[in-house]
Chains A and B, each alone.
Chain A
């Protein structure tokens, strides 16, 4: 067998289940193609019911594919039962065998391979040391905390030295603090071991923190595959933009072109520029513009603006100064809502002719709060770099 470029490859995979009312078929996974390279930390991200877990279960071998191909290191595995696939799974509820000790759990997979008892014991002990749990070897799963159980589950899968480790919502059963620590630990462990990790999560923050690449799924389809930065900064669809972080959506019509930007008419008196991507919409077509709240900044219409060096300027002078940058756009608006949430303050600003288009703006509270605080009803200028606004076609 020649060396294949991908560790795991899915080619047009479809999975159909009988519908609950038994009157037809439901597509849980709809024509999914993915290429996952050796040593990659890959996330399948999406809301519940999007088909991410079914995809993982097909790679593990617990579900058959309805059509399409799954290749592991270049070998088609549709007819290979799970116990012959070079992949191992960490289950969401860990699925530790309750009648065995932690050590026996970890040894189980080795015994199934026919490894001698003494070697199995030694390797299992090493695996428990890898997950920093050597002291738990003789305890039953019910005597272990959730975090410890998860480590045992990890050791049990890793001791098999799989080509690919599959993780099904591995952190969802842990409490918040532990979950955040485990993210970095898992990431570090994966880099040390160099094993390909494929993990399923509905938590976008988790996916962003851990994964090298993310596939965003919805209703059985993969909408976008990319690095966390690509997914966040250049979302391909409205769903992706909305699912990952917070986004402002503005409806408008494409009316012209200005350099690299499309000009979108939001209402009869308001336009904005936005990046159009590969398939720009035709002129006059209704489109959606997306811009992240943290890309927007505010300054008051009446009053002064304070510079970082402590000097002051009038708002008008400030406006003139920032507009020297041709990529910057400024629009007038009114504060509709201001909510203080610790690290930042979240404003809702009404813009447009009737101030009825809402933009959420997040300003970090880095200075003194009184310097940067706007009140409900206050007239403000909103400005942003047009590179951060994107036209979404679907």
Chain B
């Protein structure tokens, strides 16, 4: 049959194999260049990313009024922001520790309420998107990322316009009700975009979860309600916590949306800091910014740890 083809191998037994040494040497050099390049690429990128932040942190300890030259270590600026004393040349009318702490309190209040509302709604949406089966599900799935993708300024303006329309409607009704921007509008604005983040994080957790576990619970006699609380919820909890912390961080940091929808007496920390910057950049700004950086980093870090926890399991 095809015996003749099988019996003529491409190499004769015992035949010597010749290597092209020059070619091998050339390829080894290319490989080495590639290896060095691989190591340097991220260094360049990370430099651009981190240099301004590192400078900010370093200069928050700089013993000089002007932010340009290093004149020794001090914690003066950190002390100032907590002792009501601002560096010379800054109009003290704009700054007081009390106002700053009030704005921090406002920020925390908004972030906390936003987190609770957006985590509950976001988790429910995630569950519907993963487990549910309804018309238009794929469209909703696709639109989920929209608030993350669209420019924040667009979102801020749209919210401002939306509230304007609502307030005009309410205030023109002549029923004695007077509506104005305030914490309500800020929280609604923050919830509006935090839901997306929570849903994305929790949905990933849901999708990782073995649907057989819920079937097993039902098989063993648990109805849907008990299945959720005894099996589903404990297993998605790390995702829910991670999503909540993410929402908290984003709400705490938010400037643009807050700026467009806030009213009188609802100044949050980012808005307050922006107010300080109007005339010049006092060194206390560096200190406040560094503290905000530390707080955010801790929150996001915990969020990442929670997302990673048990992720590889079952």
Contacts and interface: CB of A to CB of B under 8 A. Distances in A.
A160 interface: yes
Q: Size range of the interface on A?
A: 20 to 34
Contacts of B313: 98, 142
A196 interface: no
B31 interface: no
Interface string B301-314: 00000000010011
B74 interface: no
Interface stretch (B61-69, B153-161, B227-235): B227-235
Nearest to B235: A99
B221 A160 contact: yes
Interface stretch (A86-94, A131-139, A359-367): A86-94
Given A81-B218, A83-B221, A112-B220, A97 B231 contact: yes
B212 interface: yes
Contact of A95 (B213, B221, B223, B226): B213
A61 B310 CA distance: 30
Nearest to A99: B234
Contacts of A112: 220-222, 226
Contacts of A81: 218, 223
A62 B219 CA distance: 9
Contacts, number: 68
Given A91-B215, A95-B212, A95-B215, A142 B222 contact: no
B217 interface: yes
A87 B212 CA distance: 16
Interface in B192-234: 210, 212-213, 215-223, 226, 230-231, 234
A108 B218 contact: no
Q: Size range of the interface on B?
A: 20 to 34
Contacts of A60: 215, 219
Given A108-B230, A142-B313, A142-B314, A95 B220 contact: no
B218 A93 contact: no
Interface string A205-241: 0000000000000000000000000000000000000
A83 B212 contact: no
Contacts of A83: 218-223
Given A91-B215, A93-B212, A142-B314, A156 B220 contact: yes
A97 B210 CA distance: 10
Nearest to B210: A95
A109 B220 CA distance: 5
A113 interface: yes
B213 A97 contact: yes
Contact of A108 (B210, B220, B223, B314): B220
A84 to B, nearest CB: 8
Interface of A: 60-62, 81-84, 87-89, 91-93, 95-99, 108-109, 112-113, 141-142, 156-157, 160
Given A95-B216, A98-B313, A157-B220, 19 more contacts: A81-B218, A81-B223, A82-B218, A89-B216, A89-B219, A91-B216, A95-B212, A96-B216, A97-B213, A97-B217, A97-B231, A98-B310, A99-B234, A99-B235, A112-B220, A112-B222, A141-B314, A142-B313, A142-B314
6 contacts: A81-B223, A84-B221, A89-B215, A95-B215, A112-B220, A142-B313
In the A-B complex, the 6 residue pairs with the closest CB atoms: A109-B220, A112-B221, A95-B212, A95-B216, A82-B218, A89-B219
